[in-house]
Amino acid sequence: MKRVVITGLGVRSPIGNDLRTVSEALREGRHGVERVPEWEAIDGLETRLGGRVVGLDATRWPRKARRTMGRVGMLAAEATDDAVRAAGLDEALLASGRVGLAYGSTHGSSEELERFCRTVFCRETFRGVSSASYLRFMSHTCAANLAQLYGIRGRIITTCSACVSASQAVGYGYEAVRSGAQEIMICGGADELHYVHAGIFDVMGVTSTRYDERPGDTPRPFDADRDGLVVGEGAGTVVLEPFERARARGAHVYAEVVGYGTNCDGTHVTSPSAEGMEQAMRLALADARLDPSEVGYVNAHATGTDVGDVQESVATHAVFGERVPVSSTKAFTGHTLGACGTIELAFSVAMMRDGFLAPSRNLARLDPGCAPLQYVTGEARDARPEVVMSNNFAFGGINTSLVLRAP
């Protein structure tokens, strides 16, 4: 089995579009949650907050490439282009068949799906529908567009698994490179901000609504005064390759992926299970051949929902006890859904590289129902974690846990 390292990384997030910017935001406490004025017109939508990406450049790509991309595809393409450039992958290598792709989102572009449905279902006509419409909102639009953009001829894995779309993509890519099935894997996830995403969580009663006039005060993972999640958008991409290959060509190594665990609760579609989460973490540690005592930081999935935060804290405590520092960076960005796995992986890389642990913003009064973990609160904490764990959990009871080691 080969050692697997990250040699390329790209990110688009509500707090920045490169590793330096997001690192500064995490250290200085700058968040990306804002009021979304256009949602005021949506009847019955209670939440008004979201996390947006600023600075997306649609003209970066030729028109022929853009015509099949919605916003989610654009986000994925920008993050991936940064990662591919950072890794130094040239056109010949990308098209050689030795490079594969694993990429996902909750589904395709919601904006494009809305436009299509308004024409077809409201006006009952297909006149004016573009031949590329479906290609923008199909479930695997990110993977399909990226494959065409870079001429990928290796394996394509499309991970449309809600909030673990990106982390499962990294896990599958890690397994493919480790086993030698692919020499290099490009992995990640993306999602765009749309009122449909917010509305879906809204009708479930799990969005933040009390802080619409104070965006900076929410979300509040693990906090007693939390009232739900905030939806965000973004994309994150990593390039994975064998350590020996990276060393031989003198590539920059961001981190080594040393463990991956994934499983299913098998109990409930939306209610999380502490037992399932715990087992995913233990699977990742076993895969990494690490004892829990060797982990220096856990980036929690914690979204700011009542049940989810409590169950995750219980699971984390069962594995680590009170010794490991824990925080949720969703307090900075909101929940970026299918992108959160690789965005939070990038945040973890930034912390390892720059020597700090980001706090859980807004965690002022711990929910007494949450387990007694070593929560990072207040200001960023100086630290040099050698090993970090990043956890993500999704509807359907799907759990993922990734373990990184500093280079």
DSSP-derived letter for residue 355 is T
The closest alpha carbon to 361, from 35, 51, 49, 29, belongs to 29
Residue 64 token pair:
């022929």
Query: How many other β-carbons are positioned within 10 Å of the β-carbon of residue 65?
Result: 15
Give the active site residue among 163, 187, 340, 370. Answer: 163
Name, in order, each residue with C-beta under 8 angstroms of 24's C-beta and a sequence gap of 6 or more.
Answer: 16, 30
Give the active site residue among 187, 301, 317, 370. Answer: 301
Residue 26 token pair:
């995490």
Per-position DSSP letters for 93-149, written without gaps between them: HHTSSSEEEEEE-SSS-HHHHHHHHIIIIIS---TT--TTHHHHHSTTHHHHHHHHH
Alpha helices, H only, 223-365: 243-248, 274-288, 306-320, 330-333, 340-354
Query: How many other β-carbons are positioned within 10 Å of the β-carbon of residue 269?
Result: 8
Q: Answer yes or no: are the C-beta atoms of 296 and 324 closer than 8 Å.
A: yes
Q: What share of the chain is helix, strand, coil (3-state, %, to 5)?
A: 40, 20, 40
Crossing angle for the helix pair 274-288 and 306-320, to the nearest 10 degrees: 40
The closest alpha carbon to 283, from 259, 301, 255, belongs to 259
Residue 329 token pair:
């960076």
Q: Answer yes or no: are the C-beta atoms of 225 and 363 closer than 8 Å.
A: no
Is 236 exposed, middle or buried (CB count within 10 Å of its CB: 0-12, 13-18, 19+)?
Answer: buried
Question: Looking up tokens 């973004």, which residue turns up?
Answer: 234
Give the active site residue among 194, 335, 340, 370. Answer: 335
Question: Looking up tokens 């040099």, which residue turns up?
Answer: 384
The closest alpha carbon to 227, from 207, 253, 241, 247, belongs to 207
Is 163 annotated as catalytic? yes
Is 264 annotated as catalytic? no
Measured CA to CA, the distance from residue 264 to residue 160 in angstroms comes to 15
Measured CA to CA, the distance from residue 266 to residue 276 in angstroms comes to 8
Q: Give catalytic residue positions.
A: 163, 301, 335
